[in-house]
Amino acid sequence: MNPSSTGISPVNAPSAEQIFSVHPAIRWTGAITRKGTILFAENRPTVKSLTPNGEDRLFLELRPLYEYEMAECTLDWLHRNDGS
């Protein structure tokens, strides 16, 4: 979930169980606050992870940073190539 667009906070965040109930094919879910605090990172109870839980949490911490950096690079590229 993208906390910047959904306004997730520890108070109004859905639980992992609520997310798993959306569709049976969801195997893993996680949520973080806008400040990067991990609220949860869980596998569906019937799913055995191929990675250690620490790796799943690290992915959740680092992914927003990667996406933000990629967006900045894309914007820089677009501004250089917009014909002005």
Tell me what pLDDT residue 4 has: 46
Q: Identify the residue whose tokens are 């620490």.
A: 54
Full DSSP string of 37-78 = -EEEEEE-TT---SS-HHHHHHHHHHHHHHHHHHHHHHHHHH
- Domain ranges for the chain, please list them: 3-80
What's the predicted TM-score (pTM) here? 0.57
Q: So what's the pLDDT on residue 1?
A: 45
pLDDT at 31: 84
Backbone torsions φ then ψ of 77, nearest 5 degrees: -65, -45
pLDDT tens digits for range 25-67? 999 888 887 777 888 888 999 998 887 777 777 877 777 666 6
What pLDDT sits at residue 58? 80
Q: How far apart are CA 30 and CA 1, in angstroms?
A: 7
